[in-house]
Structure 1
Amino acid sequence: MTDDRLFALQRRERLMEELQRHGAVRVRDLAETLQVSELTIRRDIAALHERGLLTKVHGGATLPTNLDPSPARRQRPVPATSFTIGMVVPSLDYYWPPIVSGARSAAAALGVHIQLRGSSYDQAEDRRQISRLIAAKQVQGLLLAPNLEGDRTDEMIDWIGHLPIPTLLVERQTPAWTPTARQLEWVRSDHALGLEMAVRHLHEHGHRRIGLVLSKGSPTSAFLAQGWRTACTNLGIPSEFVVRESVALDVPGHRAIIESILDRCRATQSTALIVHSDPDAMSIAQYLAEQGVGIPGDMALVTYDDEVAQLAEPAMTAVRPPKGRVGRVAVEMMVSRLVEGKRRPAQRVLILPELIIRNSSVVTSRGR
């Protein structure tokens, strides 16, 4: 495979990730994001359209629909076996929609169906929704994102491990070895490496004292803390500045918490903060602006999630978990398990996040 061919594949993969993230994309925006010409993007869209992977529209593309008249869509063979996969996620708004979209895109390409159930960050509700899917006897596999926090985690893992149909964890992993945990498959974002990307980015731009603000109660926090410790140890910088508090605008008392964080920044001479997640980072940025603290001149900011980071002022550098890709890979792994059965060895997959550099951590030539 030539370098040009490899680059085209990588560019089209990124195009599909953006499409699954937003549902629709514009040629102009993609050309700016990927730093190629609009003609190149139009050719990529045309090629993907012919394969039935997207629907070409004026000025851009959308996710494929049954109304798409492309030859690839008309000629796509119907699989001999059509599976239905149950999917239970803890939220249907923040973070999870791109994962669900990625799963549905892969399901459509593979000719399988998704039965989606919304839960909450509560083990009892997780069990209720999972049990309902199994009792209906309409699904052959399960994609699950259960709450694996708390004293009853081992019991929850054991229960999932004994479910009567194949099960795969999404953005979750088993925290310890148990007889059932060793059989469970999972796919998730490599959040620890994503956090390390953020630390190293700030370190490369001269920051030696950095603080970490973790969203209180998030299942992702443990992985982020792991990446923080690894990065700080490897770079030889202090790792003590870790705050576990939610400071989004709708959190009571968030201003007082942010002020205490800034007091700690002054006391430790910290010049940068990594914040999980976007609403918390935007709340801190707003407070800094009110106090006349310049971003990134006086305080650099990096957020973790990249849901709405580009809407901040200034637009925020962000670590973007590969949410759409996680959903797609989850479906592909499940279909592989259903087709091959126990012949296929169990798989556990980590997918790398991406660092999107904007103006909150370094002055760039173009803001987005």
Structure 2
Amino acid sequence: MKLGLRLNLYRSSSLAVPVSLVQRAEELGYHSVWTAEAYGADALTPLAYLAASTSRITLGTAVAQLAARPPATLAMQAMTIDALAGGGRVILGIGVSGPQTVEGWYGQPWGRPAARLRDYVAIVRQVLDRAGPVSYSGPELSLPYAGPGALGQGKPLTSILHPVARIPVWLASGGPRNTALAAEVADGWLPMGFSSVPEPMRDRDDFDVFLGATVRITDDVRATLDAMRPLTAMYVGAMGSETHNYHRDAMARRGFATEADRIVALWRSGRKAEAAAAIPDEYLEQSALVGSPARIRQRWASGFAPEGVTGVIVDVRGTEELELMAELA
């Protein structure tokens, strides 16, 4: 089982990259370290920073948001970081985010996200593969651009920078269309609302599926779970609209549809504390390893990572949890 370390830098109002923690993860044999982005710190810059302080650990985005940059720009950044890191150390995890962020923060149309994701990955792959000038025509994205405002002078170009090594592209998804797309065109899957690994992914020897897990060594399981509730309730209740609420849908896919609807209703009526209290312990513990080292060992041994999962990206507070997971994996 591969282990990744999750850095939640994107949630903070200030930026402090835990270099020593990442270096310890590398010493322990962790496969990767992962960053994300929303509308604060971006996902790519911290990886470039970490490339200078590490030598082996893989640098991944979980995820880079599709609307944040054109596909060629993401490919350029990935090749640049991989060159700085020595080659073969970058994974591009890509996700579509949601319409509130896509249109409200990035000023991009929501459009048809499944079609746009397919177009985006195709262009990224062409840039990274550097087999020739990049030319692509899709229903959502095309290169060279020939839409409204174009002069018609766009020229297919080939990256000046040669990639040091092949850069894998992973997709983050929850819904059936983008999950099927991940199995078809990607090298790995970052599931949202995980229930099981689809058959097409399990049939591929070269395919990775990484789950996320919060790890907390504590004598007070109840207090630790309670501390997780407000953020979880905010994601389920507030990080989506009435028509596009992917965190609500993710909770439903994990078997908690009734509870998810109640959390959304409570949050939107201003009863945030009640929304947090409505989150079942079982739901929290599906993606958390909480308690004494003995309790965590028991939960891990009882099948925390189901069949088809090849890695777990852990959120830890310090080296004790980091080392415990290295021992278990």
- The answer to whether TM tops 0.5 is no
Q: What TM-score do the two structures reach when normalised by structure 2?
A: 0.34
TM-score, normalised to structure 1's length? 0.32
